[in-house]
Amino acid sequence: MAHLCGLCLALRDEHGHAARLVTNYDGLLVSVLVEAQAPRSSPRRRAAACALRGFKGADVAEAEGVRLAAAVSLILAAGKVGDHVADGDGLYANRLVAAGASRLADRWAAAGTGTATALGLDPATLTGAVGEQARLESVPGLGPLELTAPTEAAVAAAFAHTALLAGKPHNQETLREVGRYFGRLAHLLDAVEDLASDHASGAFNPLAASGTGLAAARGHCDDALAGLRLAVAELDLERPALVKALLVREVGHAVSRTFAAAEQESPQSPPRDPRLKPDPGGLLSGLCVALACCTCGLYRPPWDEDRFKSCGERFDCGGCDACGQCCDGCSGCCECCDCSCDC
């Protein structure tokens, strides 16, 4: 959460509130890798209360790692939006929506390119991968690993650059390998998840385009996962726990979970159209976010450690940036010190 919130705030501080839309779990891995290699050069700061944390403060990452994560997220998100506009997917078929999305994508691309350059990463390694991906999607007869190659190259470049930011250049080639495997997995799993909806909407899907079945896709993912585990084991990390948890254990869970869900789709029945029957898991997530924002964090899911605390205990005014300090804990809802912050 420190890295996720750090990424969100870095996007806001450098590129404006709209840029926070590109906050994603894959992007935060860049920040995690920098801190794992050089924890002493990866400081954290106290952030103010946020509705998505139940109006609690938090210690968030604040270093070059989150700035690099922000740059990568912006450039790749810009490429994805541009791809949707070019294909006329869904709402992007509307001219006004497409025009607005194109302008936003251009702004994100420019912002990400500027930050990447400032951090010493050649943005062409990312923007070039985006362009190459669009080109390959128009070439018939390619295999699945040929279609995932641009994603692999982009992630490999971003991961490898974390070694330079952390002052451990000997990790660079291994991290490049880690990035290739992770990029391949991310692309393939995304294709498996979207296979039914892409078929219904006519959107491009690398598995359908290459004639790759689920069994073959699972084989590619298992091979990539094995390579990812070996590469991560070779890294020189001062704090390896979080990297291994995310890049080994959780990626393994993601592979199993994604294919288990895909295999439940009956090949005889027509694919489910998510526009007609929304995924109940997505609805539940949206409902939880709405409750967190609209009830000041009064609702807490079963796994939250604050579930049975009182309203006053849930409010945390310790992150007030305006005065630098505030009460250690509110005696009631927002009965804080006389600082000028918004707690």
Per-residue model confidence as pLDDT tens digits over 293-342: 444 445 454 545 555 666 555 554 444 443 434 444 444 444 344 344 44
Query: Does 146 have pLDDT greater than 90?
Result: yes
pLDDT for 326 equals 41
Q: Which residues, in sequence order, are bridge partners of residue 45?
A: 60
Structure tokens at 163: 């070694």
- Per the CB < 8 A criterion, the answer to whether 155 and 180 are in contact is yes
CA distance to 59, 184, 324, 336, per residue, from 333 (Å): 22, 48, 20, 9
The Cα–Cα gap between 29 and 183 comes to: 12
- What is the C-alpha to C-alpha distance for residues 201 and 209, in angstroms, rounded to an integer? 14
Question: What's the CA gap between 78 and 108, in Å, rounded?
Answer: 6
Per-residue exposure over 266-281, b if at least 16 CB sit within 10 Å of its own CB, e if not: eeeeeeeeeeeeeeee
Token match 């700061």: residue? 45
End-to-end C-alpha distance for the chain, whole angstroms:
21
- The pLDDT tens digits for 57-99 are 889 998 899 999 999 999 999 998 988 888 787 788 889 999 9
- 113 in Cβ contact with 122 (< 8 Å): no
Partners of 60 in beta bridges: 45
> What distance in Å separates the CA atoms of residue 334 and residue 343, rounded to the nearest whole number?
6
Global confidence as pTM? 0.76
- The model's confidence at residue 56, banded by pLDDT at 50, 70 and 90, is confident
Query: What does the alpha-carbon distance between residue 177 and residue 69 come to, in Å, rounded to a whole number?
Result: 18
Q: What is the largest CA-CA distance in the chain?
A: 68
**Residue 49, phi then psi, degrees to nearest 5:** -60, 145
